[in-house]
A and B are shown apart, each in its own frame.
Chain A
């Protein structure tokens, strides 16, 4: 059987787009593979400035008012340290928990600590809030993940100046 349409003459209108499509596709694939879309990363901005004492000592300005300090002691939860004994590094990080002490009260989870910090912030007169400083004082074995949790809680409670003290 013969196909009649196959023998008909074809007229192409405009330029040949096939090479363009090939090149554009290669560019597209290159951009998709080479592009660095690091949008998942976020940064906890530190506005604490420098405590004018100890290392990095500076001359105090004439009308210097020392900041009101809220000290948060962060330690590892002893029970979680026992649980994590003998575990691999990855499991150890997941198992370890922290306890935060604010004004003598120990908080074992984020929501309680966050609530307490919110209370402290709300109880401070508005004019004094800018001069409040949270000092996170971690134990030497406290892991970075826990510090970021406490930092998050303080930032979300409204504090803007958050500094770290030497480990205990």
Chain B
């Protein structure tokens, strides 16, 4: 009986199989680690203060990120913080209080209250786990931060501070 043998293989060029293996591993790694399309509304221009004891927040779904910087004074001459947040998918400025057509509006309080206690008119259910992440610039003076903390307290919403990881305690 005649034996059939495979023709001798002669490949030209470089063997790319190990390259593909490594690249596939890298793709799987990046797909697992990279957070693509997740926008918390964090203002990247804010310089966060360093902290060596901060921890990670696993569930960012119940949080609202408030960017706090020093804003201009209001009509009465009182310094007001400049607060922005991602509300219903849109970057919005939230004022502590604003005079709208002769009535006092508490924009930040209203947003926090609606998020925690729910808003039936907007179809928003109550969320007792709701919390706020305060991203304040490291140079923000307390007189600008205090009204934000007070509004969180008034709306019964707990808050955490965003910081940058530091390897060692401050000197």
A-side interface residues toward B, CB under 8 Å?
8, 10-13, 17-18, 20-21, 24-25, 27-28, 31-32, 34-38, 40-47, 49-50, 55-56, 89-90, 92-93, 109-111, 114, 138-145, 147-149, 151-152, 155-156, 164, 166-167
B146 interface residue per 8 A CB criterion: yes
Question: With A13-B11, A24-B24, A44-B160 in contact, do A34 and B54 touch (Cβ < 8 Å)?
Answer: no
Pair A50/B156 contact, Cβ less than 8 Å: yes
Q: Which residues of chain B come closer than 8 Å to A27, judged between CB atoms?
A: 27
Pair B142/A43 contact, Cβ less than 8 Å: no
Stretch binding the partner chain, chosen from B90-98, B100-108, B162-170: B162-170
User: In this complex, what residue of B is CB-closest to A54?
Assistant: B153
Q: Which of B10, B49, B52 contacts A10 (CB 8 A)?
A: B10
User: How many Å from the CB of A74 to the closest CB on chain B?
Assistant: 8
Q: Which residues of chain A come closer than 8 Å to B136, judged between CB atoms?
A: 144
Q: Which residues of chain B come closer than 8 Å to A144, judged between CB atoms?
A: 49, 136-142, 145
Pair A147/B142 contact, Cβ less than 8 Å: yes
Pair B30/A32 contact, Cβ less than 8 Å: yes
Pair B164/A145 contact, Cβ less than 8 Å: no
B76 interface residue per 8 A CB criterion: no
Pair A42/B27 contact, Cβ less than 8 Å: no
Pair A143/B138 contact, Cβ less than 8 Å: yes
Residue in B20, B53, B57, B136 whose Cβ sees the most chain A Cβ within 10 Å = B53
Closest 10 CB pairs of A and B: A35-B34, A42-B54, A31-B30, A140-B143, A145-B138, A93-B139, A145-B49, A148-B49, A44-B161, A138-B142
